[in-house]
Amino acid sequence: MKNKFESRQYVIGGIIIFIAIAFIIQLFLLQVVDTAYKVSADNNVFRYVTEYPGRGLIMDRNGKLLVYNEVAYDLEVVPNFMRSFDTLELCSILDISKEKLVEGVQKAKQYSAYKPSVVVKQISSKKYAILQETLYKFPGFAVRTRTLRKYPEPIAAHVLGYVGEVNDKIIKSDKYYKSGDYIGISGIERSYEKEVRGRKGVKIYLVDVHNSIKGSYKDGTFDTASIVGANITTTLDAELQSYGEKLMQNKIGSIVALEPSTGEILALITSPSYNSNLLVGQERTKNYMMLQDDKLKPLFNRALMARYPPGSTFKLVNALVGLQEGIITTNSAFSCNGGYHVGSFTVGCHHGGSIDFLHSIQGSCNSYYCNVFQRILDDKKYGKVSVAYNNWRRHLASFGIGRKLEIDLSSELSSFVPTSEYYDKIYGKDKWKSLWIISMAIGQGELGVTPIHMANLTATIANRGYYVIPHIIKSIEGKKSIDPKYLEKHYTTIDRKYFDPVVDGMELVITSGTATRARLPGVAICGKTGTAENPHGTDHSIFVAFAPKNNPKIAIAVYIENGGFGSTWAAPIASLMIEKYLNDTISRPLMEEGMVNANLINEKKQ
């Protein structure tokens, strides 16, 4: 009997020990291995609220405000704390459809039951005031304060860029960003995102069973403060930018103006453009789609991304290369009898008789530069046309032509100058001749340049042989200097002495040549007209210039698509821009009125 009793004790004891071990294991799994209950418990007590910093302000070179921040509100929900609520009442307060609210809640549940997710973004202050009074009726919901970008003037949209919500790809590639965060998508907002975004902070609050905030946890001991983004001063002149956009209304094309000695971008205009405020707020997606579907492509940055033939403006480069290579001197003259003639082949020209160097620039003689280009490529010291061509291309590269300039805006497209291998594939290795690509003598053929490249070329000539990479940032708050590469001088392969006669020729273009409409009393402007052939319609109007002749303060390139001759539209517009920048007034109101009121878009449609 005793043995039987002892046996029962062992069994009962074993069962108790087993149960105890089972409880211990279960507690270990719940408390150490599985954090779900801890998360749930913590979320029943704490609320972690991300504190978003204001993005840095953006100003022009004179301190004029271009971009600032405005408070907005996001409605978020923690699905695990959500209880039954009056859906129609909440929809009425927010002025949204029931379907949109339900969709937002479903996405929040899919994301996380314990973490807050945004349901409705960018609620106005007026709606927030009403919502705040009734928020207790909607368990699990809370409001998060955000800031939105605002633009006091609708200018420089392509330069400033816009901000948008991060996608999954960005979240995976950069741990800083979480779902619902915003990031710079284009322009300065993108290029200087890390400087302008600031740093997020976190505030920890105690909440009750109704998810209502009862106070800061430990008086904020464990909070981390957000840090406001750095303010940025751009190189833009807001007045000049605004004036340029006014001149370009109802036209397709672009204007790029630089300060030659520094490479600072004074104005970068793309037309048509758009109002940056359209891409802010609850209507952002709708407005973006509208802009994207516009046949005139207002989102396309023509100043940095549109490739055009440089036309006769390119004769300036061939003149410099010809002088450097000893192909011509400033005393060289060529006969022009209505064009450049080789057998039955002709490149037409409007001149006649003998044309010397200065007058070849002044009157933009096609025959002169076909002769120069042909002699450059047929120079016997190089043996082969392809070798001479590569040397010519090397000179172009020293002006930044044929590659990206590496400006501090991400959407820049490289200009295009074919390689010798390009022609080898078409004609056979070393089987092509100078005559076959003679159109590049006058800036046609396969050449493709962007307006920023042509402005930089003009600045290089203004500087008599060097350029500083064009850039849009003048200073960043908290930094001693901008990137050193935007302070470095890049010298060309052309000796300085050859620039002076080219500059003299450019001055004659204005005083008595193809761009007399660009004359400005009291200011020595040096320029060159161009007319780029357009196989799809009317030719493009081009003009490049700098002023004053000595110690130049502004270099400019103007492209007017389907504008015809360079002297018709591009030259007057460039001249008005130069006057606005140098004198701050306009002395030619009739010219200004004619340029502002011209509607070349409607003319194109007719």
Residue 11's pLDDT is 66
In degrees and rounded to multiples of 5, residue 418 shows phi and psi of: -55, 145
When pLDDT is averaged across residues 150-176 and rounded to a whole number, the result is 93
Q: pLDDT higher for 458 or 30?
A: 458
Residue 606's pLDDT is 42
Q: How many helices (H) and strands (E) does the chain have?
A: 22, 22
Q: Is the pLDDT reported for residue 344 higher than 70?
A: yes
- b/e code 276-309 from CB counts within 10 Å (16+ = b): bbbbbbeebeebbeebeeeeeebbbbbbbbbbbb
pLDDT band at 275 (very low <50, low <70, confident <90, very high): very high
**Radius of gyration (Cα) for the chain, nearest Å?**
33
Are the beta carbons of 529 and 354 closer than 8 angstroms? no
- b/e code 120-153 from CB counts within 10 Å (16+ = b): bbbbeeebbeebeeebeebbbbbebebbbbebee
Distance CA 386, CA 382 (A): 9
CA dihedral 562, 565, 566, 567 (to 10 degrees): -130
Q: Is the pLDDT reported for residue 9 higher than 80?
A: no
pLDDT band at 278 (very low <50, low <70, confident <90, very high): very high
State the amino acid at position 244 in one-letter form: G
Helix (H) or strand (E) holding 578: helix 570-583
Could you give the 3-state DSSP secondary structure of residue 230? coil
Residue 39's pLDDT is 47
Sort 51 into a burial class: Cβ within 10 Å, 0-12 / 13-18 / 19+: middle
| E-strand stretches of 185-249 | 201-207, 213-216, 232-234
State the amino acid at position 253 in one-letter form: G
Are the beta carbons of 105 and 79 closer than 8 angstroms? yes
In degrees and rounded to multiples of 5, residue 427 shows phi and psi of: -105, -10
Query: pLDDT by residue (tens digit) across 198-212?
Result: 998 888 877 766 555
Query: pLDDT by residue (tens digit) across 375-398?
Result: 999 999 999 999 999 999 999 999
Helix (H) or strand (E) holding 259: strand 253-259
Mapping DSSP onto H, E and C, the string for 50-83 reads EECCCCCCEECCCCCEEEEEEEEEEEEECHHHCC
Strands of the 264-271 sheet, one edge to the other: 264-271, 253-259, 554-560, 540-547, 526-532
Q: Is the pLDDT reported for residue 150 higher than 60?
A: yes
Residue 3's pLDDT is 57
Residue 50's pLDDT is 81
Distance CA 602, CA 606 (A): 6
Distance CA 471, CA 106 (A): 46
Sort 97 into a burial class: Cβ within 10 Å, 0-12 / 13-18 / 19+: exposed
C-alpha 449 chain-centroid distance: 17
Are the beta carbons of 540 and 561 closer than 8 angstroms? yes
**Directed axis angle between helix 451-462 and helix 499-512, to 10°?**
110
Mean pLDDT of the chain: 90
Could you give the 3-state DSSP secondary structure of residue 521? coil
| Length of the chain (residues) | 606
DSSP code string of 84-127: ---HHHHHHHHT--HHHHHHHHHHHHHH-SSS-EEEEEEE-HHH
Q: Is the pLDDT reported for residue 337 higher than 90?
A: no
Q: Which of 55-69, 139-153, 455-469, 544-558 has the lowest mean pLDDT?
A: 139-153
Distance CA 450, CA 400 (A): 11
Please state the pTM of the whole predicted model: 0.87
In degrees and rounded to multiples of 5, residue 344 shows phi and psi of: -90, -5
Which residues, at least 6 apart from 450, have a Cβ–Cβ distance to it below 8 Å? 303, 304, 305, 306, 307, 308, 412, 413, 415
Distance CA 91, CA 86 (A): 9
Are the beta carbons of 415 and 403 closer than 8 angstroms? yes
Q: What is the largest CA-CA distance in the chain?
A: 139
Query: pLDDT by residue (tens digit) across 429-468?
Result: 999 999 999 999 999 999 999 999 999 999 999 999 999 9
CA dihedral 280, 286, 289, 294 (to 10 degrees): -90
Q: What angle do CA 208, 209, 215 make, to 5 degrees?
A: 10
When pLDDT is averaged across residues 283-310 and rounded to a whole number, the result is 93
Read off the DSSP letter of residue 458: H
Residue 475's pLDDT is 97
Pairing of strands 232-234, 58-59: parallel
Are the beta carbons of 329 and 413 closer than 8 angstroms? no
Sort 477 into a burial class: Cβ within 10 Å, 0-12 / 13-18 / 19+: middle
State the amino acid at position 94 in one-letter form: L
Q: The tokens of 405 are what?
A: 């300039």
Distance CA 245, CA 155 (A): 8
Distance CA 158, CA 245 (A): 12
Could you give the 3-state DSSP secondary structure of residue 416? strand
Helix (H) or strand (E) holding 477: none
